[in-house]
Structure 1
Amino acid sequence: MKKVIVNEKVSPDALNILRKAAEVVYIPSGDHEEIKKALHDITAIMLDTTIKFTGELMDSAPNLKVISRTGTGVDNVDVPAATERGILVLHTPDANTVTVAEHTVALIGALTKHLLFLDSETRKGKFKVARRYYLPVDLDGKTLGIIGYGRIGKQVARKCMAAFNMKVIIYDPYISDDVIAPGVIRYSDERKVYQEADIVSLHVPMTDETRNHVGENLLSLMKPSAYLVNTARGNIVDEAYVCKMLDEGRLAGAGFDVLANEPPLDDELFLKNPKTIVSPHSAALTNECTVRVACEAAQGIVDYLEGRMPKSIFNRKGLNL
């Protein structure tokens, strides 16, 4: 029977899917050394984001045929190395869409209503004072700028238009006009989105093109009253410059689910800034979504083992499939 490593704690449902077609080497601790020792005779691995799966690790697994990511992003997998070795890299782009969109909207609400700060002030006994700060702002009629109008970006746009009556402007050079929902306005100049939006929300993958893309040249265009939300990938944004803008009153707040350093360093400026809200790359980690993602990742492996073509092959083009 083929062997499959699962390098994270997942639902019993996902393990049961795998056990119908393979022997499962379950390493819920995610211990890197234990994982490395188990690679030599595996056919597939179900992978989270805590380990960088390099070409060297692939060479330690000569029978490896499938790397299945429990998530959308594959930036912790050396995809060119996998493609060169004929290894399928699977991901789960549909399973977490609604969940990450909900988290994004929650960050938008928490930032604009200053919920964490007002909660803290109230608990310090400043009830009468804090309610007169008049810090929160209405979302009704405000402009949401979305960078990357893919699955999650579309959901965020839809939810904010329906719930808050927001105007939505987008920038995405890779989509056709026919996928844009009624009422959403497309800009061909990314800079205009940063200039006009009251909230900018990032929804782009980590690529060579997007790495460090959101820096001073774009951030400096934002209004002092604007907010920045990132539930995409940390290395897309110049966090130091965001902090500088927050300290200088040139940006109202920032809500990030992802950071350049994960886990963060002890002296991270972004974590110390009182105008930021940070969650631990947990936007997709609801009870329901973790089950959906794990089951979809497991099913992709089983499809391969049973001779079927998996649904979501990230490197399909490179493998000529």
Structure 2
Amino acid sequence: MAGMPFTHVWVEAPFYSNALAALPSEVTVLYAAPAEDRIANAGPAQGILASSLVQYNADLFRRLPNLRIVTRTGIGVDNVDLEAATAAGVVVCNTPEGPTESTAEHTVAILLNLAKRIKQGNDNLAAGKWGPRADPLIGVEVRGRTLGLVGLGRIGRRVAHICGVGL
């Protein structure tokens, strides 16, 4: 298979526009069926851009005889039976850096939401409960505070960096 170009790639979920833009124009992109049998139209696929929506097991590999690679977006491959993939000659890859930035940013957004009481303020505003006595909704300033992190993997280190540059 070395040097042989891929002509069909199956996309499990609709959020891979950047990855799809990187594919050569000769590649046919097959999209997941909206039915119970999501892989119904994946028959000729040689590659899969996978999320965690489908269990990749021996049965699936038998149903996709042309499949050569499953690229899992994200860190984990726990929805892929690695032994079955190996037996079927399917290479499994992940993208360990893929979700790092967005997950770290989301974590910081949640921290700021909690510190600044954004949700409570928004709920009060929507309910018409906004006025001069909004002091409880101001929240706290995060500058100069100590942030405790449990785990310093890729995401934890990125959160530490974001929070350490001036928040």
TM-score by length of 1: 0.44
Structure 1 runs of 4+ aligned residues shifted over 4 Å read: 29-32
Task: Say which of 5, 20, 33 aligns to 1:15.
Answer: 20
Could you say if the C-alpha distance between residues 90 and 144 of structure 1 is closer, same or farther in structure 2, counting changes exceeding 3 Å? same
Output aligned runs, 1:51-200, within 5 Å.
Answer: 51-128=54-131, 131-133=134-136, 136-164=139-167
Tell me if structure 2 keeps the 8 A contact 1:49–1:76.
yes
Q: Indicate the residue corresponding to 2:9 in structure 1.
A: 4
Provide the aligned length of Structure 1 versus Structure 2.
Answer: 161
Q: Runs of 5+ in structure 2 lacking a partner?
A: 1-5
Tell me if structure 2 keeps the 8 A contact 1:122–1:130.
no
1:49 aligns with 2:44: no
Tell me if structure 1 keeps the 8 A contact 2:101–2:155.
yes
| Matches of 1:132 and 1:53, distance apart in 2 | 52
| Matches of 1:133 and 1:144, distance apart in 2 | 22
Bigger CA radius of gyration? 2
Give 3-state SS (helix, strand or coil) of 1:152's partner: helix
TM-superposition CA deviations, 1:175-219 (whole Å, max 9, x none): xxxxxxxxxxxxxxxxxxxxxxxxxxxxxxxxxxxxxxxxxxxxx
Tell me if structure 1 keeps the 8 A contact 2:73–2:98.
no
Tell me if structure 1 keeps the 8 A contact 2:10–2:49.
yes
Identity among equivalent pairs (%): 33
Larger RCO (alpha carbons 8 Å, 6+ apart):
1
Q: Runs of 5+ in structure 1 lacking a partner?
A: 165-321
How many Å apart are 1:130 and its aligned residue? 5.6
